[in-house]
Amino acid sequence: MNDGEVSIEALPMLRLMAFGAPGETLLSGFLGDVLSGGHIPIGMDRVEDYGQQLELLWKKRYQSMGFSDQALGRVLLPAVYREVKGATFETMRRSIEQADAESFIDKAVLVELRDRQARYISYMMRSLAHVYDVRSPFAHARLVDEWLRVPLAFRIGQKAYRRMLVRFAPHLARIPVAKTRHNLLYSNQAGAAGPSAMFARLQKAGADYLPQGLAWRLNMGLRSLGLGLASLSGGWAGLHNRSEYVHHDESIRKVGPEWFRQALNQDDLTEGWFDRKALNALLEEHLTGKMDHSIRINNVVSFLEWRRMMGV
């Protein structure tokens, strides 16, 4: 449950299956962000110490959206926590050391592709194929090989990706995306991001270097400022437009809070593993807007459903 990106996609995937009509073509963009450098942690290219590289990767790619060790200790029973503490970090460390690449960043990308994205994309394609005709162009083996040959300097900050779209697909680069309300033409020919994207990156950087509570308060302040700028500028400055983009946090608060409450209070599945009072406190903090625990809540619910299905 430390992993905050892959396991939580199970519930949103189920919702996606209900949106379209059976037989429609679903074009998936998954894996494109990894190949283009979108998953390289901010500042990783400037860190030389191996231990610091591991810690930054752990915080940014594996733990920032899931449970920290401290947060996990609050919801698990003490005996369970003592048994599992540090296990996922050690798994990541061993995987990095065994990856067949020269630089730490390239090792991290290979582990991301092999241990996380491969199973996620396979799960996505198998699940959605029950409803849609699923196409995942970025998962093509030749495309993966070609992108991994792009020099690291051009993958950091997605420079090569941005430059490629602006130069070779200007019609595509002109299409505004719902998340930011602007298109890729704000990138210059070197692939550098504009002020709006840099503002969002500043918000993300807080999660890398600040304690969880302080980072959340900083992000809330930046979000308020960003939404104000977006409103005044018609979306060209500030953070992205929440009204046109799906957010897990608001979905839990407004769409089905009682469903999540029931899911977290299943006696037969939580007994012997979780502190029920702590789980309910986690949910209440989220529902009242004190913290965004959406991914952590989804992680617990997914884990409980896995226990049910596997009979564990």
One-letter amino acid for residue 116 of the chain: R
**pLDDT reported for residue 243:** 55
Rounded Cα gap, residues 65 and 310, in angstroms: 25
Is residue 277 in a domain?
A: no
The whole-angstrom separation of Cα 285 and Cα 278 is: 11
Whether 191 is in a domain gets the answer no
Q: Per residue in 123-171, pLDDT tens? A: 778 888 889 998 888 888 888 888 888 888 888 888 888 888 888 888 8
Q: How confident is the model at residue 172 (pLDDT cuts 50, 70, 90)?
A: confident
Alpha carbon distances (Å) from 112 to 62, 115, 150, 256: 10, 6, 17, 32
Q: pLDDT tens for residues 44-86?
A: 888 889 999 999 888 888 776 678 888 899 999 999 999 989 8
Task: Report the alpha-carbon distance of residue 146 to residue 168 in Å, rounded.
Answer: 17
Burial of 116 by CB count in 10 Å (0-12 exposed, 13-18 middle, 19+ buried)? Answer: buried
Distances (CA, A) of 83 to 80, 86, 233: 5, 9, 52
Residue 67 lies in a domain: yes
Residue 131 in tokens: 């409803």
pLDDT in tens, 214-248: 766 776 676 667 656 655 554 445 555 555 555 66
Question: How many other CB atoms are found less than 10 A from the CB of residue 155?
Answer: 24
**Long-range CB contacts (< 8 A, 24+ apart) of 263-269?**
263/301, 263/304, 263/305, 264/297, 264/300, 264/301, 264/304, 266/304, 269/304, 269/307, 269/308
Beta bridge partners of 134: 26
- Low-confidence winner among 17-26, 65-74, 88-97, 176-185 (lowest mean pLDDT): 176-185
Give the C-alpha separation, 208 to 273, whole Å: 29
The answer to the question of residue 231 being in a domain is no
115 is written with which tokens? 């241990």
Per the domain annotation, does 105 fall within a domain? yes
Q: Could you give the number of structural domains in the chain?
A: 1
CB atoms within 10 A of CB 15: 11
In a domain, 123, yes or no: yes
State the average pLDDT for the chain: 79
pTM for the full predicted model: 0.69
Contact 43, 61 (CB under 8 A): no
Residue 267 lies in a domain: no
Taking a C-beta distance cutoff of 8 angstroms, is the pair 117, 34 a contact? yes
Q: Report how far residue 137's alpha carbon sits from residue 118's, in angstroms, rounded to the nearest whole number.
A: 14
Of 25-29, 79-83, 188-192, least confident by mean pLDDT is 188-192
CB neighbour list of residue 159: distance below 8 Å, 6 or more residues apart: 37, 153, 190, 191, 192
For 193, residues 6+ apart whose C-beta sits below 8 A from its C-beta are 157, 162, 186, 187, 201
Instruction: State the Cα–Cα distance between residues 229 and 236, nearest whole angstrom.
Output: 8
* Domain limits for position 154: 1-158
Is 40 within the bounds of a domain?
A: yes
